[in-house]
Amino acid sequence: MKEADPLLKEAYFYYKSKKYSDSIILLEKLVSTGIKEPYPYFLLSVLYLLTGQLNRVGEIIKRIKSINSNYPQLVQLEAFLFLKSAGDLGSALSFYMEALQKIPGDKYIKKSVTQLRSVGDFSKFQIDAKLNDFVKISAPVKFGKFRTQIKNYKSGTILNLVPYFFLQGSFW
């Protein structure tokens, strides 16, 4: 199995330490290599949001979609961005319901739908909504640890659940 890139680990460390500009520099260097994993792009898009570089987020989201359009954190991020810009509660809830159809088992999206259904003052909810409450920003994992795209036969959704070593038969 391939270890998570040292640049990625360091970038995540800087992100957790709130040294966003240092993290961005490392991630920009990593993605310039043409890496085909969505996580570095995802973390870079989060950092662009946190540093107010909104004009750069759209470009990164397009790159993530070209790698895996059903990447769970991408779907969460898009839903959050829609929530922050939605004109009304109904459209935000509708967008989250569509996201839930894409990724039915996603705990963050389910929690968001539940919260939206109980909102009294949508404008206040929008203003108070924090990225970390709606988008899972986890530490990088080893690339290759999990297969990135396993199609669920019935629903057609992408699952990220099957350990690579199990698929290779080396589990036994």
Q: Per residue in 146-166, pLDDT tens?
A: 334 444 444 454 444 433 333
Q: How many structural domains is the chain composed of?
A: 3
Q: Is the pLDDT of residue 167 over 80?
A: no
Task: Please tell me the predicted confidence (pLDDT) of residue 141.
Answer: 79
* Mean pLDDT of the residues in the chain: 84
Q: Is the pLDDT of residue 68 over 70?
A: yes
Cα–Cα distance for residue pair 169/67, rounded to 1 Å: 27
Are 129 and 149 members of one domain? no
Percentage of residues of the chain with pLDDT beyond 70:
80
Last residue of a domain, one of 51, 68, 85: 68
Are 99 and 64 members of one domain? no
Q: Per residue in 23-44, pLDDT tens?
A: 999 999 999 999 999 999 999 9
Question: For residue 79, what are the domain limits?
Answer: 70-136
